[in-house]
Every structure is written in C-alpha cells, then in structure tokens.
Amino acid sequence: MEENMKLATVEDTVEYRLFLIPDEPRDPEKHKETLQKYIERIMTQFAPMLVPYIWQNQPFNLKYKPGKGGVPAHMFGMTKFGDNIEDEWFIVYIVKQITKEFPELVARIEDNDGEFLLIEAADFLPKWLDPDNSANRVFFYHGELCIIPAPMKPGAVSWLPSKPPTIPQALNIISTHPENVLASESIQAAVNRRIRGYPEKLQASLHRAHCFLPAGIAAVLKQRPRLVAAGVQAFYLRDPIDLRACRIFKTFLPETRIMTSVTFTKCLYAQLMQQRFMPDRRSGYQLPPPSHPQYRAHELGMKLAHGFEILCSKCSPHFSDSKKSPVTTSPLWAGFLDSLKKNDYFKGLIEGSTQYQERLEMAKNYFQLSVNRPEGSLAMNPGEEILTLLQTLPFDFEELKKEEANLSPEDDDQWLDVSPDQLDQLLQEAAGKKEPEPLSKEDEHYDLTQVSKSMKAFISKVSTHKGAELPREPSETPITFDADSFLNYFDKILGPRPHESDSDDQDEEEFECLDSDDDLDFETQEPGEEASVKGTLDDLKSYMAQMDRELAHTSIGKSFATQKQMESLSQTTSNNSDEEHTGAGGSVMTPVDVDLNLVSNILESYSSQAGLAGPASNLLQSMGVQLPDNTDHRPTSKPTKD
C-alpha cells in the first residue's frame, strides 16, 4: 500500500520563561494579577504576527506559573515544534522582541538540547563556558543577549557567585550590572543571523499549492488555515491502525472534491511531497496517470484528505463543543480588536468583505486559544474542531466549484530540488561562513604550503577528551609551528634519540615539564606510582625499538618521499650515477619530506572524492583552506607500445 510510513517521531520542544524585575513582590496575588495582565498585553501586541502564522505542532503561548523551588513566579510557555526548526527560531525572535518592547522583563529560553543559543554560537564562546557551568547564565534583556560571566577566582568579583547562579541571583545581576553581562558581538551576531529577516521572513516560509480536495476540507481551511498542519501531521505520522479509517471514508467523500488553493509552510509541503502513498481501492480516491497535468494537485489532495479523515476518526461521535465560549462577549475582545486594527492586521480590507471576515474568524480563534482561554481549560483537539466547523459552517458546494476558475497561481516548488552546489551554499550560510570566491586564472599556481601550514597549526593545538580544536580564523592569525618543540615532546614520550643520553634522571626532569599539558603531577607521585610510570615507558620504548627492527627489513620506507629524492629531481641526469652509488643504506638515513608527503596524501584523498564531500575537503574547509578543482586528468593506465 505504501513505501514510506513513519510510525514515531521525537517531538522537539522549546520552553521560554519571562521574569518581571524586581522578582520578589510583597503580595503574591497582586504579582499573579500583574503577570496575567502582561500576558494579555503581550499576546495582543504580537497578534498581527502570531494570528496568520501556521505552526507545525503547537503555537506560541504564555501562562502564569507560580514560584516553586527557588524559581520566582513568572510567565511560562512551551511549544512542540517537531520537524520545523523555523518555529523555534521564530519564537526566539518573539521572545527577544518582547524584552525589547517590555524592558522590565527578562527572558530565558531553552530546548531539548539545553542552551541551544550557546550551541548556535559554539565557535565564539569563551573557554570557561561549557555545559557543566552554563546553567542560568543565558538571558534576553532589553532585546540583547546576555551571558552572566564566571569569576576567574572565587570571590574575585563581589557580585558574581563562584558557582552557576540561581534564577533570583541571575535576575539581580542582570538588573544591576546590565552592561557587564552583554554577550560579545560575535556571539550576538551568531544568534541574530538565525533570526535575521523576521517578520518579513514569515511570508517566504509559506508555499501555496493547488489541491483537489473535498469541499468540506476546503471550507474548513478557509476559516482555519492553521489546521492544515494537523492534517499533514496526521498523514505523515500515520500507522496501520489510523489507515483503517481510510478504507471507506465517512466524513470527506471523494465525490465532493473540488480544486482549491491551500497554503502550507515549506516544511509541511515537503513532508507531503516526500512520502509515496497509494490509497486503498475501497476509499474511492483514484489518482490520474502521472503524466496528467494536475496529477500533483490530485496527489496532494488525496494525502491531505487522508490526514483529515484520520483526525475526525479519533473523535467520539457524541463529543460536545461546550468547551467553546462566545468570543465577542469577553471584556477583552474590544481592546484586542482595536489593537489588531492599529497594527494593520486587516491590510486595508473593507469591513464585511469575504476576506475581511476570513481574517476576523482567524483572529477570533487566536483570541479564544491564546488570550481569553480560562485557566485550566482544555482546548479542542483538531478533529473536534474540524467536526464543529463542519456542523456550524455553511458553505455552498456550487459556489466553491465556481471559484476553481479564479484560483491564484501556485508557487514554484523548485526549492525542493537542491543541487550539491546549492546545498553547500546553504550549509555555509547556516554556519555563518561566507561562500569562498572561485579561484581566478591568476590563482592558477596554487600555493600548497597553505595546506601544510594549516595542518601543522591543527596538530599543534592542544586536544583533550572533548576533541581537537580547529584554528578559528587561519586567514587572520599567523600560523606558527616549532618543529623542534614538536619533536622534543615525542622524545619525552617515546624516549631520547640514539645520540642523546638515556639517563633516568633526564627522563624524570623532562617529564616534569609536561605537567601543564598532560595534567600529570610527577612531583607529588608516590614512589610506587613513579616506578609504575617508568616501567610503562620502558615497555613502550622496547615496543618502538622492536617495530624499528622489523620495519628495517621491509620496503615501507620507500613509500615516503625524502628530501634526497626531491633534490635529485632538480639535478641533471648526469648526477643520477651519484645517487645510485649512495645505495640503499644512504636512503634509509635520508630525512622524510614531511610537507611533501602530507600535501600529496591530502591531494590524493581529495582527488578520490570526485567532487563530493569527504574527509580531506571537510577538514581543510573547517580550517579555511579551499583547494582548486582538479584539472589534471591523468590516464588510468600507462600507454603501451605497439
């Protein structure tokens, strides 16, 4: 019946909290009333952005949360954004704007991964900040990202606690030292890059497509466009039990289908398009041949109809819509409607027109769910909401059929077909990196020393159990590599070279110099521990000596290019006899050309990638090195003489 069926998904969730400064009011009940008024003001002021937005799973919401466990009373919200990561970053933008519009509020936001704002700016974080000490340090205040610093030493700064602060401590620090807790410009830029373009960006996230749908679904989506998300999710996350309801349709009959225009988010549209599905023959939903000009509209409509039928099948046949109270009777409705008009929510539409009424119904629904929702009340599930609309919403099937001839053009979905080059560009933009400029003809003679220098800079970095650090800006900072120091470190670990002394005293003195890098304190070791370490080192030396003896009888050394070989290439053929006279023994002692071997091996790996992503290109790109395209088309086999 189908090839792709997603049975389960992990629901990603973002949580956000808004605190009022000062955070400890004398009267808790009065503070609760104050916070509830703030919720009404916030949801009303940001309604023009929030009302038309189509959320993947759950909308932005706020409710009062009493103080508990050292956390003062505050405004709390939680949204399951699922597969659409743009929902999460839209919420970040909203929270940031709230603290800008209401400067007496401090906001905190995190998701399943924890401090995801720090994850976004990971390349620019100070060394001391890690997941173990980042609790209660990241906030928005006055529309700016704030990170409460940690003192270099306990008590060094009187107003900074030595441990991660509590929420009351953090709020006090932010309110009294706002200029000292601002995040650095690079961290701010990394976060702002993800929310750049809002609110104009909201329209770019939508996709309008023609769908051959039952008239009931078309009428429901005209009144509640956001319900398209529930329909898509029901189809996308269907299981065999859900599909039993779609063997024979009871609510959305295929005979009532009409052509209509549906607005999706790009994420929802992609979810519908990427799954292959063939309906049950008993359902009545037959698809035309793939060559049919309206095949895609029929396919989208069929999938969406299955999603809506699944939603309605999960409702009790005797459900009650008593949960819904009249909207216009609320004392808050008049002020909410005035705020919408002031913020140009109706876009100049004539009052009483069809489009005006559609936007008004959307506003009423938003008001019911977000502003005027009684505390502790339960919202309707999507299936109940759809059935309620079908019972109360009058629609003319013939009128909807006439509208088919005047449908607005659907959007181009070529954005679904991303080429490898476009994907690389998108990934670079997401990482905040500028797209590297293509190499010009003047850059034909590429300087390969940049590759070896970058690799040496990478090797010289100190690595820990958390991983190795890449040079952040290799183009801006000079690369330094002390080969003697590099070899000395190996000598200290593997033992001295043959011409050096092999005394125990020297070994002990040299290892004491490594305390700062290896976090080992040999001076404070017990005699038994010191003997154990020395024994381990002796064993390692013997292993290395044995390996040298075994490799001396192999041709492994010939696989490396040596400095002697490179010199011979620049000499004339008359010097070849001298090189042969040197013999195998001389070549053994000839130093290996580390740079040449490094570059040649990297180029060989890069060439074998055939233009695709691979270890060589990924490592070099992370260090800011761009290799030119391979224009050396060498033959795969040597030509033979006739």
Q: Which helix (H) or strand (E) holds 627?
A: none
- Res 154: pLDDT: 82
Residue 35 near residue 74 (C-beta atoms within 8 A)? yes
- Res 469: pLDDT: 64
* Rounded Cα distance, 62 and 18, in Å: 9
Question: Helix H segments across 552-574?
Answer: 563-570
- Tens digit of pLDDT for each residue in 175-204? 999 999 999 999 999 999 999 999 889 999
- Tens digit of pLDDT for each residue in 585-629? 444 446 677 777 777 888 888 888 766 778 877 777 777 677 766
- Res 83: pLDDT: 92
Query: What DSSP letter does each residue of 185-248 carry, written as one string?
Result: HHHHHHHHHHTTTTTTHHHHTEEEEEEEEEHHHHHHHHH-TTHHHHHHHHHHT--HHHHHTTSS
Between residues 523 and 299, which one has the greater pLDDT?
299
Domain map (residue ranges) of the chain: 13-195, 205-330+372-423
- Tens digit of pLDDT for each residue in 417-434? 877 777 777 666 666 555
- Res 406: pLDDT: 87
User: Would the pTM count as exceeding 0.85?
Assistant: no
* Rounded Cα distance, 634 and 552, in Å: 33
Between residues 243 and 23, which one has the greater pLDDT?
243
- Tens digit of pLDDT for each residue in 79-106? 999 999 999 999 999 999 999 999 999 9
Give the confidence band of 583 by pLDDT, cuts at 50, 70, 90: very low
To the nearest whole percent, how much of the chain has pLDDT over 90? 41
- Tens digit of pLDDT for each residue in 38-48? 998 999 899 98
**pLDDT of 641 strictly over 50:** no
**pLDDT of 316 strictly over 90:** no
- Res 552: pLDDT: 74
- Res 590: pLDDT: 62
To the nearest whole percent, how much of the chain has pLDDT over 70? 71
- Res 342: pLDDT: 82
Q: What is the mean pLDDT of residues 278-307?
A: 94
Give the confidence band of 335 by pLDDT, cuts at 50, 70, 90: confident
